[in-house]
Amino acid sequence: MNPTTPPMGWNTWNTFGENIDERLVLESVDKFVELGLKDAGYEYVVIDDCWSLRERDAKTGEIVPDPAKFPRGMKFVADYVHSKGLKFGMYSCAGVRTCADYPGSFEHEFLDARTFARWGVDFLKYDYCDMPFYDKAQFYYRRMGQALRLSGRDILFSACNWGREDVWRWIRSTGAGMYRSTPDIFDSFGSMRSIAISQLPKFDTSAPGCFNDMDMLTVGMFKKGHVAAEKWAGKDVPTFEEYKVQFAAWCVWGAPLMLGCDIRSMDPEILKLVTNRTLLGIDQDRLALQPFVAETVQLDKDEPRVVARLLDGGDMALMFVNFGENEVSGRTHLDKLGLPYDSGMRLSLRDAFTGEVSQSGRDTISYRLAPRSCEVFRATPVVA
Ligand code: GLA
């Protein structure tokens, strides 16, 4: 079954890179449940690149889990994940080698899909490094899509070719349930901002069945871990306010929510943020409608100021965002949200972060935003 709302979970890559092993995964699974992430809707525990030996088994041709990292093999890990009521994800690559130079699935798609099915894998992230040809993504992703469908197990296909080759035009034909529509994220405000803004022209390409994946969240990394390295992410440690902007954008945009921080030592404020019911309710809204930019501003280039999405039952999500470096304030007309003066409506606004309820004006809403900050509301139209 392809997903009808954006998949949610945790992935090893952002923090741990190649430093992964059974203990880390099992401890994270325990914490996952203990912290209430499962109750909040997070479901997939995904092991990214670097889990296997450098070469396939000479006799069987199968990829072999590195016994130094996963001494009891992957079926054991999968069983453990399942015993906690969660789902298990793994990683491979359409190319000859993965991005970190482990065996990829090129010309081994069907064998690997059967192996993953045998281990009890529920989700496969499928990368795009080391391809013999870089203009045939559609062809290679279709191979693995078929292999997974025919593997005898329901495995969510998570394609990851970084938004190349107009992937949104064909990815649904491969059976994928989500696909990366962006380059890799790093743990900096700049990286998050450029990913969020890059998705505005692609709002029409994400829908139930197959969601645009804006990459794993860096929320809560606070500069610790693999994608926080200074060479990619610069020196600045992201602030809590910046992570709020990131998490809220992923939710209002309707993206998959794959946590990427070390959940074993998650900051309590970050836990509150990523389990925020109002934001998760927006991300997971049953209708999964297309968001829209109600107002843009000219900063470096056109940037969104107000982004909205109609929700199931008549409410709407409303995000006021300031990606810039100066405080801003202003007013937005309700007409830009489809509510002209004549509608006789105004909005009752529930602040997603504080729970406070306020009323919009009769025809406008005012905002004041610090640099790199946002306000998010679940808004209910009410008779004015
Ligand atoms: C690519 C992907 C990342 C991660 C690494 C692993 O860069 O986009 O998300 O999976 O490969 O090597």
Domain ranges of the chain: 8-283, 292-383
297 falls in which pLDDT band (50, 70, 90)?
confident
Residue whose CA is closest, atom 8 of ligand 1? Answer: 184
CB-ligand 1 contact for 100 (6 Å cutoff):
yes
For a pocket test of ligand 1, which of 48, 186, 187, 259 has the largest count of ligand atoms closer than 8 A to its C-beta?
48
Residue tagged 């741990």 (tokens): 16
Q: How large is the angle between the packed helices 109-119 and 137-149, nearest 10 degrees?
A: 40
Residue 369: its pLDDT value, please?
Answer: 97
Q: What percent of the chain has pLDDT over 90?
A: 97
The minimum-distance atom of ligand 1 relative to the CA of 91 is 10
- Looking at the CA of residue 100, tell me the nearest atom of ligand 1: 12
pLDDT at res. 209: 98
Residue 112 scores a pLDDT above 80: yes
- Residue 312 falls in the annotated catalytic set: no
Count of CB atoms situated within 10 Å of the CB of 215: 26
**Residue 1: its pLDDT value, please?**
84
pLDDT in tens, 256-277: 999 999 999 999 999 999 999 9
Give the pLDDT score at 215. 98
As beta bridge partners, residue 139 has none
| Closest ligand 1 atom number to CA of residue 99 | 12
177, pLDDT greater than 80: yes
SS (H, E, C) 212-275: EECCCCCCCCCCCCHHHCHHHHCCCCCCHHHHHHHHHHHHHHCCCEEECCCHHHCCHHHHHHHC
Q: Quick: pLDDT tens for 349-384.
A: 999 999 999 999 999 999 999 999 999 999 999 999
Average pLDDT over residues 270-299: 95
Q: Mutation test of ligand 1: which of 10, 11, 12, 13 has the most ligand atoms closer than 8 Å to its C-beta?
A: 13
Mean pLDDT (the chain) is 97
**Tokens found for residue 205:** 């390409």
pLDDT grade, residue 221 (50/70/90)?
very high
* Ligand 1 mean position, distance from CA 347 (Å): 42
How large is the average pLDDT for residues 334-346? 96
Which pLDDT tens digit goes with each residue over 36-52? 999 999 999 999 999 99
Topology given in CATH for the domain delimited by 292-383: Immunoglobulin-like (2.60.40)
pLDDT at 298: 78
Can you tell me the mean pLDDT for 171-187?
Answer: 98
CA angle 175/178/181 to nearest 5° reads 120
DSSP strand E in the chain: where?
8-11, 44-46, 87-93, 123-127, 156-159, 178-180, 211-213, 257-259, 292-298, 302-310, 316-322, 328-333, 345-351, 357-359, 364-369, 373-383
Q: Is 26 exposed, middle or buried (0-12, 13-18, 19+ CB in 10 A)?
A: middle
Q: Report d(CA 172, CA 150) in Å as an integer.
A: 17
| Pocket flag, ligand 1, residue 217 (CB < 6 Å) | no
Decide: 213 in ligand 1 pocket, CB within 6 A. Answer: no
State the greatest distance between any 2 C-alpha atoms of the chain, in Å, as a whole number. 74
pLDDT of residue 302: 76
CATH C-level class of 8-283 = alpha beta
Which band of pLDDT confidence, cut at 50, 70 and 90, is reported for residue 241?
very high
Strand partners, 374: 321
For the CA of 183, the closest atom of ligand 1 is: 8
- 184, 267, 335, 351: which one is catalytic? 184
Q: Is the CB of 124 under 6 A from ligand 1?
A: no
CA distance 333 to 364: 4
Rounded to whole angstroms, how far apart are CA atoms 1 and 19? 32
Predicted pLDDT of residue 193: 96
179 in Cβ contact with 161 (< 8 Å): yes
Average confidence (pLDDT) over 211-230: 98
Q: What is the pLDDT of residue 303?
A: 86
Q: What percent of the chain has pLDDT over 70?
A: 99
Helix or strand or coil: residue 171? helix
Quote the pLDDT of residue 310.
Answer: 98
Which of 122, 127, 283, 285 is labelled catalytic? 127
| Confidence (pLDDT) at 10 | 98
To test the pocket of ligand 1, the residue of 54, 182, 184 to mutate (highest count of ligand atoms within 8 Å of its CB) is 184
For the CA of 216, the nearest atom of ligand 1: 9
